[in-house]
Chain A
Amino acid sequence: MPSKQPLLNVENLEQHFPIKGGFLGRTVNHVKAVDGITFSIDKGETIAVVGESGCGKSTTGRAILRLDEPTGGKVEFEGQDVLAMSKDEMRKMRKDMQIIFQDPYASLNPRKTVRQTLWEAMDIQKVVPRKERNDRIIELMETVGLQRHQIDRYPHEFSGGQRQRIGIARALSVNPKLIICDEAVSALDVSIQAQVLNLLKRLQRDLGLTYLFISHDLGVVRHIADRIIVMYLGKIVEVGDTDSIFENPQHPYTKALLSAIPVPDPRKKSERIFLRGDVPSPIDPPTGCRFHTRCPFATDHCRTEVPELEQKDAEYAGFHKVACHYALDIQRGKHEPQYEMYNVREILDDEGEDAATDKGEEYTKTEK
């Protein structure tokens, strides 16, 4: 069990990117990539951030590390205000927070060997005395499952999975406490994904690491996360313990997301919720609840008032917060969808076993 001591505390984090244009490159508008999110991570736990592409998952990770300077809010790491730090203080701080990137082909300098890459990382943070560095590099390589004789190879001589391991080794080389995994396994194929995930889990157990795991792959998230944050258009719509989110999703968006996970059982009849339309532009997000444009349950109330993120289900003992006015009413069947939202598999089955899901989408569209 992770001890309940917050390692990272994020409050009202905001990342608005200016859009330059017009005469003399004035700032015309802002892309509100992350718009006031609050959460905390306890030591030793894995917290996953999920959501569609463009919802601000990666931006959140980058903002915490100050790879992009956040425009507002507060980030506290072990009680220290990260955003208030000077450049020099920040450099020292970076030892404790590392990041693993999505694309193993872009995240390694093509002109540096594994040894050089890891050596440099240790050199910047002065974590290991010079004499011991070579031993430490070999130890790290073995930790992440690379062979000792590959030490002087260049990135292009490795496969994608091996490169990702080098990326992990680089992040580990400075003995961090928190690692942000930005889609760390989504570029890998499934068998390698499993290997890397298990590696991450093992490292967490052995080294007491804390992960902020950014992903769009719910299967992966279920496997690795203790808690899940569901983001939509720069806001948190639901946050809770992994089991609670998967067993009892309360926000209509989370329900739609979860219903999109393929079930490896052809006989199982599952409900599939199709969302209409696209994600609205983060430049000019919808008023009230940001999801109301696509939510089948939306009412006028949703269009005007922003729902608070709060614990709704009083009977549930664990941690589960949701930002929806009607979360409980929907659950109790008191609040009906404003239009037909379920597209039940059974309907498909009438047309034949192999009716594809995208055909189902057409079905809802014609019914509109």
Chain B
Amino acid sequence: MSNIQPSQVPVRKPANRRLDNFKDFYKKLRKNKAALVGLYVLVFLFFVSIFGALDANYNILGVNSNATNLTDKLLGPSAQYWFGTDHLGRDIFYRILHGMYITLGVGFAATFMAALVGVPIGLLAGYYGGWLDTVIMRLMDVLLAFPGILLALAIVSVLGGSTINVTVAIAIGALPQFARIVRGSTLTTRKLEYIDAIRALGAKDGKIIFQHILPNIMSPIIVNTTLFVATAILSAAGLSFLGLGVQPPTPEWGAMLNDGRNYMYQAAHITFFPGMMIVIVVLAFNLFGDGLRDALDPKAKK
């Protein structure tokens, strides 16, 4: 019998796990064409919005999107004005381009704020349970009792209409949704044996919550976040449409819809184009969010 040599199999250097995971995730996402389209539209719009955000004086691609030109007012789409002009003769195309960063910004900021507060709240309620859970979740129920847009309306009427107030109002409305989803996932994860094992090793609660539970419930949080951006954008546009959100002359899409309301019969394009853009952005987020949910669903793993 020959001597058995120690294994000569080279120790495979563990490749970048995150990269591997991302590739795996992208592969799954690619199967869902609609989600992929959503992602590309979002990436495109995101880059466009950067241009809009660059200049506070409403200049974009050398054009002042806020410049009024009353001789050219209420013109339909043409080669010169791609999306036509509004009642003050402003170029709607450039205004939409400029307003992009406000729309996306409010959507992301509101969602981020809601997640920043809602996720820890949900983790605490789910992990500790008992009276803390009861108090937190009943508070969230109170918030949930108001329809989101009504709550935002009330908050904005109290705080006054501005971009930041709108963002805060929407974030508060979204809080219960985040807290509930995170609480639910925490409850199921907390019962798993590896959490018991780490408790039996004597880990502190903070370590268990943030290093063991949170990473394992990231999927629902990410999906919910993505889907909520769309809702936040709709709410922000709705508030601006009612005149309670971002104030004119800032080219916010909801405010632009409101501008065109009085000219619906003569110049429908004033309302059509901002409305279309809102639809596209919201649709893109929803498609991408749905695809994300499928791709991150652990049950769908091969």
User: B193, A121: Cβ atoms under 8 Å?
Assistant: no
User: A108, B194: Cβ atoms under 8 Å?
Assistant: yes
User: B203, A67: Cβ atoms under 8 Å?
Assistant: no
- Whether B139 is near chain A, meaning CB under 8 Å from some CB there, is no
Would you give the shortest CB distance from B212 to chain A, in whole angstroms? 6
B197 proximity list for chain A (CB < 8 A): 99, 101, 107-108, 167, 170
User: A106, B200: Cβ atoms under 8 Å?
Assistant: no
CA of A348 to CA of B51, assembled, Å: 88
- Whether B266 is near chain A, meaning CB under 8 Å from some CB there, is no
A167 proximity list for chain B (CB < 8 A): 197
- Whether A125 is near chain B, meaning CB under 8 Å from some CB there, is yes
- Whether A292 is near chain B, meaning CB under 8 Å from some CB there, is no
User: B193, A94: Cβ atoms under 8 Å?
Assistant: no
CA of A107 to CA of B194, assembled, Å: 4
A-B contact count (CB 8 A): 64
User: B200, A65: Cβ atoms under 8 Å?
Assistant: yes
User: A67, B200: Cβ atoms under 8 Å?
Assistant: yes
User: B9, A149: Cβ atoms under 8 Å?
Assistant: yes
CA of A97 to CA of B199, assembled, Å: 12
CA of A110 to CA of B218, assembled, Å: 13
CA of A157 to CA of B271, assembled, Å: 56
Q: Which residue of A lies closest to B199 (CB)?
A: A67
- Whether A109 is near chain B, meaning CB under 8 Å from some CB there, is yes
CA of A170 to CA of B198, assembled, Å: 10
User: B202, A90: Cβ atoms under 8 Å?
Assistant: yes
User: B17-48, CB under 8 A of A: which get 1 and which 0?
Assistant: 00000000000000000000000000000000
- Whether B299 is near chain A, meaning CB under 8 Å from some CB there, is no
User: A141-159, CB under 8 A of B: which get 1 and which 0?
Assistant: 0000001110010000000
Number of interface residues of A (CB under 8 A): 33
- Whether A361 is near chain B, meaning CB under 8 Å from some CB there, is no
CA of A67 to CA of B14, assembled, Å: 35
Would you give the shortest CB distance from A185 to chain B, in whole angstroms? 15
Would you give the shortest CB distance from B167 to chain A, in whole angstroms? 32
B215 proximity list for chain A (CB < 8 A): 111
Q: Which residue of A lies closest to B218 (CB)?
A: A111
CA of A93 to CA of B201, assembled, Å: 9
- Whether B158 is near chain A, meaning CB under 8 Å from some CB there, is no
Selected from B7, B192, B194, B200, the residue in CB contact (under 8 A) with A98 is B200
A276 proximity list for chain B (CB < 8 A): none
CA of A344 to CA of B217, assembled, Å: 55
B14 proximity list for chain A (CB < 8 A): 113, 152
Selected from A93, A102, A109, A113, the residue in CB contact (under 8 A) with B194 is A109
Q: Which residue of B lies closest to A67 (CB)?
A: B196
User: B178-200, CB under 8 A of A: which get 1 and which 0?
Assistant: 00000000000000111011111
CA of A65 to CA of B207, assembled, Å: 19
- Whether A95 is near chain B, meaning CB under 8 Å from some CB there, is yes
User: A94, B212: Cβ atoms under 8 Å?
Assistant: no
- Whether B216 is near chain A, meaning CB under 8 Å from some CB there, is yes
A93 proximity list for chain B (CB < 8 A): 202
Selected from B198, B202, B204, the residue in CB contact (under 8 A) with A109 is B198
A124 proximity list for chain B (CB < 8 A): 198, 201-203, 207
- Whether A174 is near chain B, meaning CB under 8 Å from some CB there, is yes
Would you give the shortest CB distance from B136 to chain A, in whole angstroms? 15
A101 proximity list for chain B (CB < 8 A): 193, 196-197
Indicate the member of B203, B215, B216 with the most A CB atoms within 10 Å: B203
- Whether A92 is near chain B, meaning CB under 8 Å from some CB there, is yes
Given A101-B193, A106-B194, A149-B9, A91–B202 Cβ distance below 8 Å? yes
CA of A108 to CA of B196, assembled, Å: 10
A94 proximity list for chain B (CB < 8 A): 200-202
Q: Which residue of A lies closest to B207 (CB)?
A: A124
User: A174, B201: Cβ atoms under 8 Å?
Assistant: yes
CA of A113 to CA of B198, assembled, Å: 14
Given A67-B199, A67-B200, A124-B202, A107–B216 Cβ distance below 8 Å? no
Indicate the member of B9, B12, B200, B202 with the most A CB atoms within 10 Å: B200
Indicate the member of A90, A102, A121 with the most B CB atoms within 10 Å: A121
CA of A147 to CA of B6, assembled, Å: 11
A47-101 with Cβ < 8 A to chain B: 62, 65, 67, 90-95, 97-99, 101
- Whether B56 is near chain A, meaning CB under 8 Å from some CB there, is no
A152 proximity list for chain B (CB < 8 A): 14
User: B196, A149: Cβ atoms under 8 Å?
Assistant: no
- Whether A103 is near chain B, meaning CB under 8 Å from some CB there, is yes
- Whether B61 is near chain A, meaning CB under 8 Å from some CB there, is no
- Whether B300 is near chain A, meaning CB under 8 Å from some CB there, is no
A95 proximity list for chain B (CB < 8 A): 202
Selected from A62, A67, A106, A111, the residue in CB contact (under 8 A) with B192 is A106
Q: Which residue of A lies closest to B11 (CB)?
A: A149
CA of A62 to CA of B199, assembled, Å: 11
CA of A92 to CA of B203, assembled, Å: 10
Which 10 A-B pairs give the minimum distances between C-beta atoms?
A: A94-B202, A91-B202, A107-B193, A152-B14, A101-B193, A106-B193, A149-B11, A109-B194, A99-B200, A124-B201
7 inter-chain pairs at a CB distance below 8 angstroms, sorted by A residue, are A94-B200, A99-B200, A109-B216, A110-B216, A111-B216, A152-B14, A174-B201
Instruction: Please name 13 further chain A to chain B contacts, defined as beta carbons within 8 Å, in addition to the given A90-B202, A99-B200, A120-B201, sorted by A numbering.
Output: A62-B196, A67-B196, A91-B202, A94-B200, A99-B196, A106-B194, A107-B193, A108-B194, A109-B194, A124-B198, A125-B202, A148-B11, A174-B201
Q: Which residues of B contact A (CB under 8 A)?
A: 7, 9, 11-12, 14, 192-194, 196-204, 207, 212, 215-216
